[in-house]
Structure 1
Amino acid sequence: MPEPTRPVFAPVDTITSDRDITHAHFAPGDQIVVIKGVADGELWGESMTVVAPSWHTPTDEDGWRVRNPLGGSQSFITAHPRYLVHLSKRCPDCLIYLRALEDFLLPKVVGAQEVDLGWYRVTNLGQLVHAADAKAAGR
């Protein structure tokens, strides 16, 4: 798969940082996705498997160690629960979050085949950090 393009202007994510989701919402073995952008008029992201509890240093909160089944240089990363969306089950909280992202993003990113919005980065400690959390943590 080719690398997604990065838009010159990407909308600021005002939804994820306000998402109120607890650590207990996910469990080891859950299949999840982290939404990173838009592809062909739909939300696009990386699917992973929840592995084990892990401290998310950038937010000083309980996070999850997740595994990318495709491997690569970052097979395992730590992520805050508010970044994750269930793939393995249809739960109301995740569906509401997905709908809010669709309503917010899809009208703003039109005509692009695949766009990575640049909302996330992985630190040198293997922690996935949302742009809003990175600013709050001074990173």
Structure 2
Amino acid sequence: MLPPSWTPPPTPAFAPTPDPLTPARDITHRHFGAGDQVVVLKGVSGGELWGDAMRVVASSWHTPTDEDGWRLRDATGGQQSYLTAHPRYLVHLKRRCPDCLIYLRAMEDYLLPKYASRNELIDCGWYTTTALGQLVHVNDARDGR
């Protein structure tokens, strides 16, 4: 049950939903490496988790958390082809590692029942991109950034 490697059309229904799992996720920078295909889970679409699929490019400092992060590339381009993200935001897309599978399953158990009756794209509103091109979870935002 991997999330789709594509992002559905940009007409999401915004549904502010608390995220108790990602901010508490204990995942280290070393868990990911250059070349890994990852996804940042952002919500639900048609009864499945969805998010933005990207490739890990290089180590990068994640200013909003003052921790090691990863520079990611979105192969489909879009508004921003490159961004920096904290490791706890990422899930391996192609590799079935235990840590990512546990997190993925927990997200499914938490989110899918909430939106079982809805088929449209549900963006849970957890992430924003700063002017510096850094992906920031709402729980990590500082000073309105």
Match of 1:120 among 105, 116, 127: 127
Preserved contact between residue 48 and residue 68 of structure 1 (Cα < 8 Å): yes
Q: Which runs of 5+ in 2 are unaligned?
A: 1-7
Q: Secondary structure at the match of 1:107?
A: helix
The correspondence for 1:92, drawn from 90, 98, 101, is 98
Report if aligned partners of 1:58, 1:133 keep a CA contact under 8 Å in 2: yes
Higher helix share: 1
Query: 2:17, 2:125 within 8 Å by CA — same for their partners in 1?
Result: no
Contact persistence 2:13–2:123 (CA under 8 A): yes
Q: Which runs of 5+ in 1 are unaligned?
A: none
2:65 is the counterpart of 1:59? yes
The 1:37/1:4 distance shift into structure 2, 3 A limit, reads farther
Q: Return 66-75 or 20-29, whichever deviates more.
A: 66-75
Offset of 1:20 from its aligned partner? 0.1
| Displaced runs of 4 or more, over 3 A | none
Q: Percent identity?
A: 62
TM-score of the superposed pair, with normalisation by structure 1: 0.93
TM-score, length of structure 2 as denominator length: 0.90
- Is 1:13–2:19 an aligned residue pair? yes
Cα distance, 1:6 vs structure 2: 2.8
